[in-house]
Amino acid sequence: MLSQTSVLAVSLLLLVGIGAATPSGFTPTTTLKARDTPPLPPNWALASACSQDDGSRLLLSDVIADLPNNTPNNCIQHCTDNGYDYAGVENGNECHCGSGFVSGATTDATYGLTAASCATPCAGDASQTCGGAWLIQLYQTPPPVEVLPTNCVVADPCATDTASRVLIGDEMWFLDNNTPVTCLNFCTAKGYRWSGVEHGNECHCGTGYQSVNHAPDTDCSYTCPGNHGLTCGGDWRIMLLACGYIA
């Protein structure tokens, strides 16, 4: 039977043996390396590492989904599949999709926010973070760009419309795929040189325009149903387009 002294000596030898087996140049550590965050999908980028959200929301036309597998990439994929170019993860399981950012949608130093402030584990992968309580990580991809036909212009990006209508001889259609160019082409095919998009899905065609009162561009924030990366007027706010327009 080994004495207590002998057992202690054997234990020390084993510890020395373990130390001797340590690879050359490697320093033992008790800290486990965190898994690298997966790269974002192509053409997507981090817009804000952590922003203060509120009831009015930081994303325009914010649509929220409760994703059991929520991660930044899974949320981005969800938003992409639904035609959105802006995404955000919040409170672990919330995936936010929108058509743009409202003013102030950045990491806000006045709240003392840093990337570390958004520390709630993602519902789909606890090794990644998905915002926090009213804290959101924001992502975006370059918004789609529409090109106007030759000799066509945006006459006013946001004008005030009325019940008597800004466009002369106004005829209105509701287009499920409405965008500025879609509406312009629709009106051109019907023989109209003037067109306008309003309230998201409204396409207005006319032969000219009445006196126009310009409204703040921010009033024209309704999402185009045919392209969620673009805006199509607002509530009694119309984007006016013209072909063969002379100022």
pLDDT of residue 25: 59
Task: Look at residue 11 and tell me if it is in a domain.
Answer: no
Both 71 and 132 in a single domain? Answer: yes
Domain match, 94 and 173 both: no
| Residue 40, SS3 per DSSP | coil
| Alpha helices, DSSP H, located in 64-200 | 72-81, 180-189
- Name residue 160's amino acid: T
Is 174 within a domain? Answer: yes
Q: What is the structure's pLDDT at 109?
A: 53
130 in the same domain as 156: no
Residues 116 and 53 in one domain: yes
pLDDT of the residue at 111: 63
Residue 109: helix, strand or coil by DSSP?
helix
Residue 199: name the closest of 227, 236, 159, 163 by CA. 236
d(CA 17, CA 156): 80
Structural domain of 230:
152-243
Determine the pLDDT at residue 36. Answer: 62
User: What pLDDT score does 23 carry?
Assistant: 54
pLDDT less than 50: residues of the chain: 6-20, 33-34, 103-107
Domain identity same for 67 and 133: yes
Q: Which of 111, 140, 169 is where one domain is finished?
A: 140
Q: For residue 219, is it within any domain?
A: yes
Asked if the structure places residue 91 within a domain, the reply is yes
In a domain, 238, yes or no: yes
Q: Is the residue at 205 inside a domain?
A: yes
Amino acid at 2: L
pLDDT of residue 230: 83
* Pair 82, 229: CB distance under 8 Å: no
- What's the structural domain count of the chain? 2
